[in-house]
Chain A
Amino acid sequence: MARYIGLRILQTIPVIIGTTFLIYALVFAMPGDPVRAMFGNHPPSEAAMAVIRHEFHLDEPFIMQYLHFLYGALTFDFGKTFQGRAVSDVIATSLPITAQLAFLAIFFEILIGVGLGIIVGVKKGKIFDNFILMSTLVIISIPTFVLGFVCQFLFGVKMRILPTTVGNYVDLYHMLMPALILAGVSVSYVIRLTRSQVRDNMNADYVRTARAKGLDNKTVILKHVLRNSLLPVITYIGADLGALMGGAVVTEAVFNINGIGHQLYSAIAKGEGTLVVSLVTVLVMIYIIANLIVDVLYAVLDPRIRYGKS
C-alpha cells in the first residue's frame, strides 16, 4: 500500500512539470509586451523598462524564465502582481473562500447525489425513478448563471429566506445558496451515476450469490452493492472537487464571492500574465492532489488496484 502511494506521488511530478510548462508557454506566447502593458499609454524610458525586464527575468530566454518560475513556485514565491501585491498573498486570501464553497458543494453532492442515487437505484418503482431522472435532466440543461439568478430572485428577493450575495460575509449561511447552485449540475450527474451503478450491481452475479448464502436484503445492499457501486462515484466526485475549485468562476461572479475563480477572471481581463499562470498552477495542483487522494482511496476500496492488477 505504502509503495502504491509512493508510486502515485512520484507520478504526479512529471504531470505538474508538464502542465505548468504548458500554461506558462501559452500565457507568454500571447502577443504584446507585458512590461509595456503594465504602464498603458505612458511608457517609461527604455532604461527603466530594461530594469523591470531584468527584475522579472523577461530578458532571459523562455526556458530560463520558466525555470525561474518553477523555482519560485516550489518555494511558494509566485512573484508580484502589477499593483505590487504578492501573488502568494492573493492566493492566500482567495483560496480558503473558494475551498469553503467547493467543499460545501461536495458535501451536497455526496448527501443529495449519492443518497438519492442509492434510493432510486434500489427502489423498483417507475414513477419515482422517472421523476428523479426528469428533474436531474432539467437541472443539467439550465446554465448555472440562469439557475443562480432565478434562485437569487426567488429565495433572496421574493421569499427573503437566503441572502442574495456573499461579498465579505464568508459564512455557512451566506454560502448555502451558491454552494447548492455550484453543486446542482454535479448532483444530477452523481444521482444518475450512482443509480445506474446500483442498478447494475443489484443484478450482478456476486450479489445473487450473496443472497443465496442467506444474507438479508439490508446486508446485501450495504455490504455488497454499495461498496462496489460507489467506486466510480468516488472517482467522479474527486475529479469534480478539482473542477469545482477552478470552475466556480461563474458562480463566484453571480454571488460576488472573492474566491480564486473571481481573481482568475479579473486577472485574465487585465492581462496579468504572472497572476494568471500562478492561479492556474495552484488550481492544477489542487486538481492533481484531489486525483491523488481519489486514487489512494480507490486502492483502499478495491484490492485489485492495490495489487497492481486490472
Chain B
Amino acid sequence: MSKIIPEASETLLDVQNLSIDFDVDKRKVHAVQGVSFTVEAGQKVAIVGESGSGKSTTAHSLINLLPGSGHVTGGSIKLEGREMVGESEKTFVQIRGKKIGLVPQDPMSNLNPVYKIGKQIGEALDANNVDVDHDIVQKVVDGKLEIQHSDDELFLGRNARRKIENEVLKIWLAEAKYNVDEIMQKVPKESQDNLSLRKDLFNILVAAGVSEENASDIHSRIVKLHKSMTVGSSIRIDVIHTLQKFGISESKATQIAHEHIKGSEKVDRIAGLLAEAGLVHAGQRAKQYPHEFSGGMRQRALIAMGLAARPRLLIADEPTSALDVTVQKRILDRINRLTSTLGVAVLFITHDLGLAAEYSDKLIVMHKGRIVESGASLEVLRNPKHPYTKKLMNAAPSLNATRMISESTSQIDKSIQKSFNVFEFENLTKEFKLPGTKKNFKAVDDITFAVQRGKTTAIVGESGSGKSTVANMALGLLKPTSGRILFESTNMDEIMKSKKLSKDFRMKVQPVFQNPYGSLDPLYSLGRAIAEPMEIHGVGNSKSRTARVKELLELVQLPSSIMTRYPNELSGGQRQRIAIARALALNSELILLDEAVSALDVLVQEQILHLLNNLQKELGLTYLFITHDLAVVNIVADEVVVMESGKLVETGKTADIFKNPKQEYTKNLLEAIPGRNLI
C-alpha cells in the first residue's frame, strides 16, 4: 500500500478554528472546539477518538448535516478555497454528493427500506446531474445545467460491450487467417449479433468452419475479455488499455472504443458502481431491496452511493464498526483502492487507531472536542506524544501484541474437589431446518473441545460460523441434535430434566450479552436489576441482597449510589459493568460472554477487559468468550477455538495459535486484524 503523499498538493479542504455547539436543555455543550486541519487533494486523513470526542460531529459539519441542535459557532471551513460556514442550504445541496460524498456508519439503518438498491444509487446520479443517459444533453446545450465529468466518464454500456467483443472476435478470426465474411455467413442469423455472449460459441465457430484448436482458443480469450470489461464502470480509456492487452493495436483499439462507447444507460452505470464497490452480480443485486442484503453488502451499496457522483472528498464515518473483522478488511481495502484509483481524498472517522494508521496518510487524534495530536500516520503510531494517544494505542486491541491476562490457576481452592473441565463438548452437532425446504442445515458440525476451570476459552469465528449456536447450547437454551455436553461431568440432558440440577446450573452459569442497551430492563432500577437473580433463586433477604448489590457494584467499580438510577442514564460501558455485576450476583462459576465487548469503543473495551481480568484473578472465574474479534482474543484468552461454517477449524493455546496458525482460515483471520503489520 502506498503511503506517498503527492508532492504537488492542492489544498482541498481547509478547516480553521472550527467550533460546534449543541443546545441540550438550554445548556450549551461544546462538542468541537478550535479544530484546525487540512486535507490535500487525494490525501487520506483519519480522525481518531472515542465516542463523544467530536470526530463525527466535525465530519458532519463539513456537509452541514449536524444532527439536532448542532451548529457551527465559529471558525472556517474552506472547500477548494471557498468559505462554507454560513452558506445557505442550497449551496450545500450542490456540494453534497458532488464534491463531498458520505459513507455512513451503520449499514442497517442508512438505506431506505422501501426502495430498491439500484433506485437509491440512481438518485445519487440524478441529484448531481451525472450524465449517464445523455438524456439531459439538451438541457446543457440550453445552458440550464452544468455537467460534471462529461468527457472522461463515457462509460461502457451493455450493448457497446457486446459490439466491441464481436469486433474483436472478427479481428482474431482474421489473424488466424480465416475469411471472416465467409465464416460470419455460416453463423446462424440469430446469434450473429450476440456471438460473444453465446455459451456455445465454440460449437458455432466449429460449425462455421473454424478448426477446433482455434475455436477453443478464441472462445477462452473472449471469455477473458468479457470479464475484464465492467458494464457501467469501465470508461473509454480503460477499454482501450484492455483491448491493447488482448493484442489489439493502439490505433485499432482507439477506433473501436470511440465508435462504440458513447456512455452507458443508467441501469448499467448503477450496476457498474455496485461492481466497483465489490458487489458480485451487481446487475441483479441492484433490483433487490435492502432487507435482502447482508450488512457487508449494504455497506458496499453505501460506498457505491457515496462515490456515485465522483466527489473530490469521501467522508467514511466508521464505515465498518458494525461489521465482522474479515468483512471489515475487505470493505476498507475496497474503499482504499477505489479512492486511490479515482484520486478521491478520504476523511476516515474511526475509534481504532490501528485501522486509522493502516488506511491513512495523516492521523488526527481528537479528545473532548479538541485535536490533541496530529501528523503522518506512521510517525504518530511509532512516536505518540500526547498521553491520550498513548492511551488509545494501548487500548487498541489490534496494536496490542502482548497478552494482558496471565494464566492464573493458583487462585482456585484445591481443597474443593471439582472437575478440571467446567464444560466438555463432545461431537456436538446442531441442525436447523431451512425455512421453505426439507433440507437440514448444520449450524454446528461435530465439535469437540473443553472449557477448563479458571481459564478463558474463546470461540472465534465470523457471523454464521455457529459460535452463538454453541453458546446457546452451552446455556441449555438449545438442544444438540447429536453429541453431548458435560457440565462438571454431568450430562446436560440430565441437568435440564431435573428441576434441582437445572436450577443449580442456572446459578453457576451466567451470560453477558453483546448489546448492553437491550439486556437491561429499562423499567428496573439498576439495583433491582442486579438483585433479580438473587430474588429468583431465593438467596438471602432484601437487606442482605442490598448489601450484596453494593458489594457487587464495588467489584465492577461503580459507585453504590448508582443503585437507584435507571439504565437510560448510563453509558454503554457502565451498562456492561451492570450486566457483569448481575452475572456475578449468584457467585457464579462460569460467565459466558457473548460478544460482550464488541459494541464498545476501544477505551471502554479495554476497561471492561481489565475488569474481567481482575475478577477472574480474584474469584477464580471461568470465562467462555464468544467473539469475532481475534485481536481481543489475543489479550484475554488462554485457549482458542476457531470455528468456520459450523466446523471446528483449529484449537489450542492462544500463544501457539497466534504465533503458528496451522490452518489457512486462521491465517486469514489473523491477517484481517488491522494494523498488525505496522509495528
Q: What is A's interface to B at a CB cutoff of 8 Å?
A: 203-206, 208-217, 219, 223-224, 227-228, 301-304, 307, 309
Kindly identify, within residues 102 to 156 of chain B, every residue whose CB is under 8 Å from any CB belonging to chain A: 102, 104, 106, 109-114, 116, 123-124, 127-128
Q: List A contacts of B97 (CB < 8 A).
A: 212-215
30 contacts between A and B (CB under 8 A): A205-B110, A206-B111, A206-B112, A208-B65, A209-B302, A212-B63, A212-B65, A213-B97, A213-B123, A213-B124, A214-B93, A214-B94, A214-B95, A214-B124, A214-B309, A215-B97, A215-B127, A216-B93, A216-B127, A217-B93, A219-B123, A223-B123, A227-B114, A228-B113, A301-B114, A302-B114, A303-B289, A304-B113, A307-B292, A309-B291
What's the interface size class on B, roughly?
35 or more
Q: What is B's interface to A at a CB cutoff of 8 Å?
A: 63, 65, 67-68, 89-90, 93-98, 101-102, 104, 106, 109-114, 116, 123-124, 127-128, 289, 291-292, 302, 305-306, 308-309
A224 close to B112 (CB less than 8 A)? yes
A302 close to B113 (CB less than 8 A)? yes
In the complex, residue of chain B having the shortest beta-carbon distance to the beta carbon of A219: B127
In the complex, residue of chain B having the shortest beta-carbon distance to the beta carbon of A309: B291
Report Cα–Cα, A227/B94, bound state, in Å: 24
Partner of A212, one of B68, B104, B289: B104
A211 close to B96 (CB less than 8 A)? yes
Report Cα–Cα, A125/B63, bound state, in Å: 23
Q: List B contacts of A301 (CB < 8 A).
A: 114
B63 close to A228 (CB less than 8 A)? no
B102 close to A209 (CB less than 8 A)? yes
Chain A nearest Cβ from B358, distance in angstroms: 25
Report Cα–Cα, A213/B310, bound state, in Å: 11
Chain B nearest Cβ from A93, distance in angstroms: 43
Report Cα–Cα, A219/B65, bound state, in Å: 16
A213 close to B96 (CB less than 8 A)? yes
In the complex, residue of chain B having the shortest beta-carbon distance to the beta carbon of A231: B114
Task: Decide yes or no: A214 and B128 within 8 Å by CB, A205-B110, A209-B302 being known contacts.
Answer: yes
Partner of B104, one of A209, A223, A224: A209
Partner of A210, one of B112, B291, B309: B112
List the 5 closest pairs (A to B, CB-CB), nearest first: A214-B97, A212-B102, A205-B109, A213-B124, A214-B127
Chain A nearest Cβ from B471, distance in angstroms: 24
Report Cα–Cα, A121/B104, bound state, in Å: 25
Report Cα–Cα, A216/B127, bound state, in Å: 8
Which of B63, B96, B101, B111 has most chain A Cβ within 10 Å?
B96
In the complex, residue of chain A having the shortest beta-carbon distance to the beta carbon of B289: A303
B123 close to A209 (CB less than 8 A)? no
Q: List B contacts of A223 (CB < 8 A).
A: 123
In the complex, residue of chain B having the shortest beta-carbon distance to the beta carbon of A206: B112
B67 close to A203 (CB less than 8 A)? yes
Q: List B contacts of A206 (CB < 8 A).
A: 109-113
Report Cα–Cα, A301/B114, bound state, in Å: 7
Task: Decide yes or no: A213 and B127 within 8 Å by CB, A206-B109, A303-B289, A304-B291 being known contacts.
Answer: yes
In the complex, residue of chain A having the shortest beta-carbon distance to the beta carbon of B105: A205
In the complex, residue of chain A having the shortest beta-carbon distance to the beta carbon of B436: A308
Report Cα–Cα, A203/B66, bound state, in Å: 11
User: For chain A, what secondary structure do more than half of its interface residues adopt (helix, strand, loop), or is it mixed?
Assistant: helix
A-B pair count, CB < 8 Å, reads 85
Chain A nearest Cβ from B66, distance in angstroms: 10
Chain A nearest Cβ from B262, distance in angstroms: 25
Task: Decide yes or no: A209 and B127 within 8 Å by CB, A203-B67, A217-B89, A304-B291 being known contacts.
Answer: no
Report Cα–Cα, A204/B114, bound state, in Å: 14
Partner of A228, one of B67, B89, B114, B116: B114
B309 close to A208 (CB less than 8 A)? no
Chain B nearest Cβ from A4, distance in angstroms: 15
Q: List B contacts of A214 (CB < 8 A).
A: 93-98, 124, 127-128, 309
Chain B nearest Cβ from A309, distance in angstroms: 6
B123 close to A210 (CB less than 8 A)? yes
Q: List B contacts of A212 (CB < 8 A).
A: 63, 65, 96-97, 101-102, 104, 306
Chain B nearest Cβ from A303, distance in angstroms: 4
Partner of A303, one of B96, B114, B306: B114
In the complex, residue of chain A having the shortest beta-carbon distance to the beta carbon of B100: A212
Report Cα–Cα, A268/B201, bound state, in Å: 80
A228 close to B112 (CB less than 8 A)? yes
Partner of B106, one of A205, A210, A227, A302: A205
Q: List B contacts of A224 (CB < 8 A).
A: 112
Report Cα–Cα, A209/B106, bound state, in Å: 11
Report Cα–Cα, A208/B106, bound state, in Å: 12
Report Cα–Cα, A215/B306, bound state, in Å: 13
Report Cα–Cα, A214/B116, bound state, in Å: 18
Q: List A contacts of B101 (CB < 8 A).
A: 212
Q: List A contacts of B65 (CB < 8 A).
A: 208, 211-212
Q: List A contacts of B302 (CB < 8 A).
A: 209
In the complex, residue of chain A having the shortest beta-carbon distance to the beta carbon of B309: A214
Q: List A contacts of B63 (CB < 8 A).
A: 212
- List 10 additional A-B contacts (Cβ < 8 Å) besides A209-B102, A211-B65, A228-B112: A203-B68, A209-B111, A209-B302, A212-B101, A214-B93, A214-B94, A217-B93, A227-B114, A301-B114, A303-B291
Q: List A contacts of B111 (CB < 8 A).
A: 206, 209
In the complex, residue of chain B having the shortest beta-carbon distance to the beta carbon of A225: B112
In the complex, residue of chain B having the shortest beta-carbon distance to the beta carbon of A203: B67
B104 close to A208 (CB less than 8 A)? yes
Q: List B contacts of A303 (CB < 8 A).
A: 113-114, 116, 289, 291
Report Cα–Cα, A206/B93, bound state, in Å: 16
Report Cα–Cα, A205/B124, bound state, in Å: 16
Task: Decide yes or no: A307 and B291 within 8 Å by CB, A209-B305, A214-B309 being known contacts.
Answer: yes
Q: List B contacts of A307 (CB < 8 A).
A: 289, 291-292
Which of A209, A211, A223 has most chain B Cβ within 10 Å?
A209
Q: List B contacts of A209 (CB < 8 A).
A: 102, 104, 110-111, 302, 305
Report Cα–Cα, A212/B95, bound state, in Å: 9
Q: List B contacts of A210 (CB < 8 A).
A: 112, 123
Chain A nearest Cβ from B580, distance in angstroms: 30
Report Cα–Cα, A212/B307, bound state, in Å: 11
Q: List B contacts of A204 (CB < 8 A).
A: 109
Partner of A213, one of B109, B289, B308: B308
Q: List A contacts of B102 (CB < 8 A).
A: 209, 212
Report Cα–Cα, A203/B67, bound state, in Å: 8
Q: List A contacts of B127 (CB < 8 A).
A: 213-216, 219
Report Cα–Cα, A203/B116, bound state, in Å: 21
Report Cα–Cα, A227/B115, bound state, in Å: 10
Chain A nearest Cβ from B577, distance in angstroms: 28
Report Cα–Cα, A209/B117, bound state, in Å: 13
Chain B nearest Cβ from A230, distance in angstroms: 10
Q: List A contacts of B112 (CB < 8 A).
A: 206, 210, 224, 228
Report Cα–Cα, A245/B110, bound state, in Å: 40
Q: List B contacts of A217 (CB < 8 A).
A: 89, 93
Chain B nearest Cβ from A124, distance in angstroms: 11
In the complex, residue of chain B having the shortest beta-carbon distance to the beta carbon of A224: B112
Chain B nearest Cβ from A233, distance in angstroms: 14
Task: Decide yes or no: A205 and B98 within 8 Å by CB, A210-B112, A224-B112 being known contacts.
Answer: no
Q: List A contacts of B292 (CB < 8 A).
A: 307
Q: List A contacts of B308 (CB < 8 A).
A: 213
Q: List B contacts of A215 (CB < 8 A).
A: 93, 97, 123, 127
Chain B nearest Cβ from A123, distance in angstroms: 15
Report Cα–Cα, A101/B67, bound state, in Å: 44
Report Cα–Cα, A219/B96, bound state, in Å: 14
Which of B63, B93, B306 has most chain A Cβ within 10 Å?
B93
